[in-house]
Every structure is written in C-alpha cells, then in structure tokens.
Amino acid sequence: MLWSAGIALLFVGYTSGLSHNPPGFYVDESAIAYNAYLVSRTGGGQFEPHFPLYFQMFTEGFTQYVSPTQVYLLALVFRFVPPSILAARIFSAFWVFAACLLLGLLARRISGQVKIGIIVAATALLTPWFFEVRGLVIEPHFVPFALVLLLLAIHYAQVTVSWNWRGVAVVTVTLALLTYCYSSGRVLGPLFALGLLLFATTRKRFLAIAKIWILYAITLIPILIFNRRHPGALTSRFFAATYMRPGVPWRDAAYEFVRRYLEDQSLTGLLQTGHPLPRHHVIQAGGVFFFATFILAMAGLLMVVLFHRQDPWWRFVLWGLAASIVPGAITFEPFHAMRLLALPVFLCLLTVPALGWLLALNQQKQRVPGDDRDRETSKYDIPRSVRLAVLAFLLTLTTVEAVRFQTIFRREGPKRGIYFDAPYKQAYDAAVAQGSRPIYLIDGTFGPASMHAFWYATVEGRPGSEFVYLGDAAKHPSPPIGGVVISSDVKESCRRCEIIKQTGVYLLYRAR
C-alpha cells in the first residue's frame, strides 16, 4: 500500500502542469483524440465505420493514417471519462511514466539490486527526452512502453534458458505491439526480431526463435492486407520524409544512410540542442539527455564491450542501441527526437553495468601470473570509497541538470502556443459566440485545422451538425453569403469578406 501510494503521488507530480504546458492542442492530437472518442461511442473512426486497423486522419492533400494502439487505448479512457484535453494528456503521460518504472524494474532484474532499479527509474523519469514527450497525444509516446515490455519479455525468456512457449508467446506479442504503435515500430520490430539470433546459442533456442519469427510474421499479415486494400496509405508519409524513394540509385541511398546514421549520433543534438522543433522540445533547455546519464551510459557501454560481450543479453542490447538509430537515419530531418525515441531506452539501460560496478561491495579478483608466483590482483583497481564518491558526484550532477531543465521547461514551455495551434481555440471561441449556424470550416496553407473544431465541439458537448467542412481552400465551394467561416488559409479565403478576428495563422470572417 505504501508503494502504491508513493507511486500515485509520484505520478501526480509527474503530470503537474499538463493543464497549460504544453499549451493548446496540436492538430494531430485533436485528430487522435477525436477518433478515439468516436470509437468509444460508435466503434469506428471519423472515416471508417467499424474498428479499422489504421485510422485515417484528414482528407484531400492532408490525408494521413495513424496507428491503432493509441486510438483504441484512449477510446477505453473516453468510455468512462468525459473527453478533454487534460484527460488525453494524462493518458499519454501514464504510458511514459509506466515505461520509466518498468525500465527500473528491468534494471533491477538485470543487476539483482533494488537500488540500481530505483536509480535507473528515477533517471528515466527526469530525462528531458522522456519528460517532454509525456503529455503529447501523438503516436511516439507509446514507443518507450512497448519497447521496455519487449525487453522484459526477452530478458525473461533468456533467463529461463529453455525459451518455452510462454516466453515465445510473450516475445511475439510485444514485438507485434511495438510494430503497431508507430511508423518507427514497423522498422524496429523486424530489426529486433532479427536480433534475436544473438540468443541462438543452442539448437533448442534457435528453434524457439524460429517459432517467434513465424508467429510474428503472422501478426504482420493484417498490415499487408491493409496496405493492399489502401495502396500508399502506410508508405506515402514515409516517402515524403525519406530519401529512399523508387528511382534513387542504391549507392546514393546507402551513402546518405551512412551520413544520416552518423549525424543522428551527434552529441550536439543529444546533449546541447535537442530536437529543433519547439513542439517536441523546449529549445532553451538545451539537450534532451543529461551529461551525467550519458557518462554512465558510455562507461556501461565500455564495460559491456570489455567484459560482457559473450553474454547474449548484452549483445542484444548493443544490437538494439544500433538499431534504434535507424528510424531517424532513413529520413531527412537531423536528430528527430520522436523517431529516435527508442535510443534513450537503451542509453538508460547501459547505465546498469556502470552502476553495478560503482556500487559493488567487493572488487573482483583474478589470478595473474607473476615473475615467480601467481598473485591476486584487482580487476578494477579503484577503492570502493572512490567509486561511491564518483557515483555521488554523478547523481548530484543529474539532480542539478534536472532542476535546471525543469525550471526552464516550466518557464518557457507555456510560451509555445503557436506550435500547438493555441490561436485556433481563440478563433473557435469567437465563432461559436457569433450565434450564426452552421459554422463553415476551410483548410489551407496552414494545414487541416478544421479537425480542431470537431474536437473542441466534442469537448463542449456541441452537436457536430453545427459545423460544415468545405474542404481545401483552393477547391472548396464558396460559403453562403453571411456564413461565418474559420479558415487556415489567410491569403486565399477572404477575398470578399468581413474579417471578424485573426489569431495567428487562422482567420474568422463572414462571407460577403
């Protein structure tokens, strides 16, 4: 009961500020939340009537498809809780919070020490990379949870030695969960499945891994069927963000991949600048990973290479570390923190060997030949008091970095309203105050903002019939004279109109 109460209080602190930081609600967030609400009431999304595999968001030139995991899970929440921005943000934060705690549990199982599990969990909770994605109602927020579940399943399977059917089933299910939760999961899932070969040290284990591959392949059949029925639905967004397009010579693509792969390992993005988009990162806060944690991770990496490279588990962790960079490296954008969200999981995991050494009670001994006799010598010739002092310094540095980040994040984070479409709510409020119905919605240069109107109407309990979507600004039929219009195309929409309000890139006007 004490542990449960403590975790509950910790979660309350972890979610503090979500009512206003991030400010507003980005259009992708509105689309996911709105579809989740529709599923909770009708079983279908905005464009699909019955339990779709992937959910269509937006129409015309803005059409995208989102993964089903988050939509269906949020639908369960909205089945019992009234839809709201805060509820959706707390839902997102819960999965990141749970991922950090499970990462601590995994560290405890690997090391056998509760204190190491607590340190790793606390570090993950404080890490800016995880903390900033908490509360964002977008697909990537679920990746850390799905990945840690997979790592727990793999660790359980490999410590049981036999890789029984229970282990095979759990690994397969968690691989599928990772694959279906985000577009990067469709890259990471097969890569991690391939990496399971590192555990194939016996014939029996190889057969178990082969079973996982067969079962995992079966779970991918719905994706293949969906892609066949909806050509380009799952690849159009990928081709828009990648250099690996049909017609590009493989040598050019390979060269660009190597360049981008190395670029995404840059310490500048990791420790100094972070993601360049303020929606994903408060730029003033610096990097997305702490120096102290990075030092521990690199020390752990060195120890794995020197002393644990024969251990299949740690070889898989190294494989995962390398594979986690691939989703970012196959796209144009440098250091895209959302596509690289598997990377901090492995960096935190690599701190375990270093923490184990720093906390070790006894130095490990090995017999080394002397000139005339063998003598006992220390494998790590550093006194425990010194090691504990180093650990205390690194934990203190982590605390200082965390305080600095939280101070800047809570001061500067609420100022990012324009990146979360906060001005649209002002135009929406002014529109519903006009009394004229229906309100016409037009999309344009600044995206499919009409989705916000449907989501805000849902939150306020307004019937959807109060709004009429006219489509893209370049193609839409003209609204009737006197009709109130909210548009995201301030240049084209208001040639003959009476402007009521302009907020940011959104325009509210009355047609003339």
Distances in Å between the alpha carbon of 377 and those of 100, 303, 366, 370?
A: 38, 18, 6, 10
Backbone φ and ψ of 470, nearest 5° = -95, -15
Does the pLDDT at position 376 exceed 60? Answer: no
More confident residue, 364 or 503: 503
Reading the block at residue 309, the tokens are: 């490279």
pLDDT for 249: 87
Specify which residues 502 forms β-bridges with: 507
- Enumerate residues 6+ apart whose C-beta is below 8 A from 476: 442, 470
Does the pLDDT at position 80 exceed 80? Answer: yes
- Enumerate residues 6+ apart whose C-beta is below 8 A from 148: 99, 102, 103, 106, 345
pLDDT for 380: 53
Determine contact, residues 472/63, Cβ cutoff 8 Å: no
pLDDT for 512: 82
Q: What is the arithmetic mean of pLDDT over 185-212?
A: 94
More confident residue, 311 or 246: 311
Domain chopping of the chain, boundaries: 2-23+93-354, 421-511
- Enumerate residues 6+ apart whose C-beta is below 8 A from 44: 38, 50, 51, 52
Reading the block at residue 227, the tokens are: 């892609």
pLDDT tens digits, one per residue of 490-499: 655 566 788 9
Whether omega before 128 lies within 30 degrees of 0, making that bond cis, reads no
Does the pLDDT at position 371 exceed 50? Answer: no
Confidence band of 435 (pLDDT split at 50, 70, 90)? confident
- Look at residues 460, 447, 440 and name the one whose alpha carbon lies nearest to residue 419: 447
Determine contact, residues 132/288, Cβ cutoff 8 Å: yes
Percent above pLDDT 90 for the chain: 70
What span, in angstroms and rounded, lies between the C-alpha atoms of 330 and 324? 11
pLDDT for 187: 94
Q: What is the arithmetic mean of pLDDT over 108-129?
A: 96
Tokens 């639905």 sit on residue: 233
Determine contact, residues 439/432, Cβ cutoff 8 Å: yes
- Look at residues 189, 191, 201 and name the one whose alpha carbon lies nearest to residue 146: 189
- Other C-beta atoms closer than 10 Å to the C-beta of 381 total 7
Specify which residues 108 forms β-bridges with: none
DSSP label of 65: E
More confident residue, 477 or 23: 23
pLDDT for 474: 63
- Look at residues 169, 135, 128 and name the one whose alpha carbon lies nearest to residue 150: 169
- Look at residues 68, 333, 358, 85 and name the one whose alpha carbon lies nearest to residue 223: 68
Does the pLDDT at position 378 exceed 80? Answer: no
Q: What is the CA radius of gyration of the chain?
A: 26
Does the pLDDT at position 200 exceed 50? Answer: yes
DSSP track, 146-200:
HHHHHHHHHHHHHHTSS--HHHHHHHHHHHHHHHHH-TTHHHHHHHHHHHGGGG-
Backbone φ and ψ of 64, nearest 5° = -140, 165
The sign of the torsion formed by the CA atoms of 273, 278, 280, 282 equals positive
Q: Calculate the average pLDDT of the chain.
A: 90
Q: What is the arithmetic mean of pLDDT over 356-380?
A: 56
The 3-state DSSP class for residue 367 equals: strand
More confident residue, 479 or 321: 321
DSSP track, 337-350:
TTTTTTHHHHHHHT
- Other C-beta atoms closer than 10 Å to the C-beta of 252 total 11
pLDDT for 365: 46
